A and B are shown apart, each in its own frame.
Chain A
Amino acid sequence: MLVLASLPQAQGTAPATPLTLLTRDARRPIATTVLNGQEFIGLDEVASIFQVMVREDAVAHGVSITYKGRTVVASTEQPMASVNGRVVTLPAPVARAGSRLLVPIDFLTRALAPVYDQPIDFRRASRLLIVGAFRIPHVVARIDAPGPPTRVTVEVTPALAVSPAVDGARVLLRVDADALDMVPPPPTSGLVDQIRVGDQTTTVAIALNARAGMPRISTTVAADATRVTIDVPLAAPQETQVPQPALPAAPTPPASPAPPALPGPGEGAALQTMVIDPGHGGDDNGVRGAKGTLEKQITLDVATKLKTLIETRMGVRVVMTRSDDRTVAPDERDAIANNSKADLFLSLHVNGAPAASVTGAQVYYLRLDRAGEEARKSAAASELVLPTINGGTRPIDVIPWDLAQAEHIEASSRFATILQQELQKHAPMAAKPLQQEPMRVLSGVNMPAALVEMAYLTNAGQEQDVQSADFQNGIAQAMYDAVARFRDTGFPKP
């Protein structure tokens, strides 16, 4: 007690950003104090977080912290602690503020961690105090060139899977991790307004400004890090109006003599076969409208119109998963697409909602869950080596049948975004027109793929619309335009 009474009485200040505690059960801010440039945490807080016993030890000139019979003694005079008989150095000795005893934050990782059951990690940059085994990669985002085009690089260390998606005027990079240790990003410039950790704490959100066009995203996985490069061009004149209908069309620069985006020689050759999947069929009617309109019939009607457009105008071979009223299982649809060696897959549906007031078209592409990502990674890691006819061997990547889409998410996201942009020129769109969800029919196709819900059969007006030739032709034209644009601008290069 005498020793402690003689400790300097310090008045600390709160840090600019509170520390966040991350455990298996909780994610919450915890209070810390800055004294003479060092960050301290109260031993009362340490006792409650780590379930340790704290006792002042006058004989040892320190404070003893006991966890499951193991004791750490932190000195009140020297910047050090004794852990299992070994001495570890600390940035400062135990301090006192009012009635509270404080230890430097590094006490947790250097002195408590060796006697604790779970890993304790402190990420200074992201201000995360992590208790337990988590995958929390270090994330560094930087703007390489303000442009335009603006180039952003996001580096994730160690190399974890990153799924990019474009959501309106944002690029979202979903990292397969428990949380992100993100270094505060640099001031933004060019066509990028903001880079930050997204609403979901495992997502990096990059907000683009109104002049930005469709970003190109490429991902490279090295041994030590996953690197995502995002190139944001200026919007083409017609694109500035489409995603931002509320904006006046004025700021678009006068059309320079730049040639229209026609495919150059050799470009576009990657799209040779496309699969159109009219949803439902046979025993499965899909949604039934109040006046008896069946989803399975509308999907087949529009699919047939789209097939004709694509075959005759684009010269692309189109395979349908059904061309009459028959039941086709989801796996069978995927098998038709994969066995046709198709380059693009489009599933057509008509939607249903619990309220009759809901209207509008929606585009979906596949969302992989964590299990899917893990399965994908373990599949990628376990390549199969087969003997070849000449006596050698050949490695073959084994990807589970039901996860074939995992490799194409990035291209599928581009295709879905283009579909949404083209559809809104011809049809009313739903409140959330672009969605990423675990759609069954998309998971097993080994090519870029999207699903379109054209309208709501549960809405009386739309039930009438979807039967009209005008509406069906408009939707088919929009999807044709999207396929053409994707072929010319968004298709993965072979």
Chain B
Amino acid sequence: MTRKRIIEVVVIVLAFAVAVFAATRILERVVAPAAPAAGSAPAAATTPAVPHVVATVFYGTEDGQGLASVKREVPLEQSPRAQGRQILDAELDTPPAPYLPVIPKGTMLRAFYITDRGDAFVDLSPEIATAHPGGSTNELLTVYAIVNAVTANLSSVQRVQILIDGKQADTLAGHVDLRRPFERDTSLVRETK
């Protein structure tokens, strides 16, 4: 009785194992056509079909006294407005070594638009002011990094006004007057790469 019981259990376990094996094989066949493609996917991901364009962005120089103009690839867009957003996203990124960040961490681009008169408005999240370390030098670097990133790449833009959280602001941290738009000024730019 006990022996018969054992045989029954072994048969059931074997039957279950065969069933699982069969099910796995069937599933493998269903999934199989996708497998080779998945293998080559990483290579495809590094060279996406989206066309890119080389933009100039401005990061702090290693000596902390100026701005370096740095070439970065950004996705190509159809309109200056959309292109401006891509360029500013690159500008707000943490810069690669040895460049120093001049934009406070956490600053996001809320909006970007260009008027018919060639005035661009760069609307930034409040971190640009609340997380700003202060000091005239820091403030000038922040302001002109943004202004130059827009004017160096978009020929239709003559002047750039910085807004904070959708509103006109006095200063970032008490020094540089943000109430009026800025023209391109490369006097802080130290090197070109």
Contact = CB atoms under 8 A, between A and B. Distances in A.
Interface of A: 25, 279-280, 284-288, 295, 329-330, 349-358, 362, 364, 369-372, 402, 431, 437-441, 443, 451, 453, 456-458
Given A439-B175, A439-B177, A440-B176, A457 B135 contact: yes
B interface SS class: loop
B100 A355 contact: yes
17 contacts: A285-B134, A287-B134, A330-B170, A330-B171, A349-B136, A350-B135, A352-B137, A353-B141, A354-B60, A354-B138, A369-B182, A371-B180, A371-B181, A438-B177, A439-B177, A440-B176, A458-B133
Nearest to A280: B174
A interface SS class: mixed
A358 B135 CA distance: 12
Contact of B62 (A355, A402, A431, A443): A355
A362 B63 contact: no
A355 B63 contact: yes
Contact of B137 (A329, A358, A440): A358
A62 to B, nearest CB: 37
Contacts of B178: 440
Contacts of A439: 136, 175-177
A191 to B, nearest CB: 27
Contacts of B171: 330, 440
Given A354-B60, A451-B175, 19 more contacts: A280-B174, A286-B134, A286-B174, A288-B134, A295-B134, A295-B135, A330-B171, A352-B133, A353-B135, A356-B64, A358-B63, A358-B137, A369-B183, A370-B183, A371-B180, A438-B176, A440-B170, A441-B174, A453-B136
Contacts of A362: 136-137
B176 A357 contact: no
B124 interface: no
Nearest to B64: A355
B102 A354 contact: yes
B70 interface: no
Contacts of A443: 177
A357 B137 CA distance: 13
Interface of B: 60, 62-65, 100-102, 133-138, 140-141, 155, 159, 170-171, 173-183
Given A402-B179, A440-B176, A287 B155 contact: no
B46 to A, nearest CB: 32
Contacts of B60: 354-355
B174 A440 contact: yes
Nearest to B63: A355
B186 to A, nearest CB: 10
A284 B62 contact: no
A288 B175 CA distance: 15
Given A369-B183, A440-B170, A440-B177, A357 B64 contact: yes
A355 B61 CA distance: 9
A431 B188 CA distance: 12
Contact of A451 (B101, B136, B140, B159): B136
A108 B131 CA distance: 56
Contacts of A441: 174-175
Q: Which of B62, B63, B100, B183 has the most CB of A within 10 A?
A: B63
B176 A354 contact: no
Contacts of A358: 63-65, 137
Contacts of B174: 279-280, 284, 286, 330, 440-441
A234 B164 CA distance: 50
B65 A353 contact: yes
A88 to B, nearest CB: 35
B101 A354 contact: yes
A350 B183 CA distance: 27
A357 B138 CA distance: 13
B177 A352 contact: no
B134 A354 contact: no
Contacts of A295: 134-135
A25 B141 CA distance: 27
B116 to A, nearest CB: 14
B146 to A, nearest CB: 14
Contacts of A279: 174
Contacts of A356: 64
Q: Give the 10 A-B residue pairs with the shortest CB-CB distance, closest first.
A: A355-B64, A352-B135, A440-B177, A354-B100, A287-B134, A351-B135, A354-B60, A354-B64, A353-B64, A438-B177
Contacts of A364: 136
Contacts of A438: 176-177, 180, 182
B137 A351 contact: yes
B18 to A, nearest CB: 68
Contacts of A353: 64-65, 135, 137-138, 141
A132 B126 CA distance: 41
Contact of A355 (B65, B155, B177, B181): B65
A357 B176 CA distance: 23
A292 B64 CA distance: 21
Contacts of A287: 133-135, 138
A402 to B, nearest CB: 7
Q: Which of B64, B100, B182 has the most CB of A within 10 A?
A: B64
A371 B181 CA distance: 8
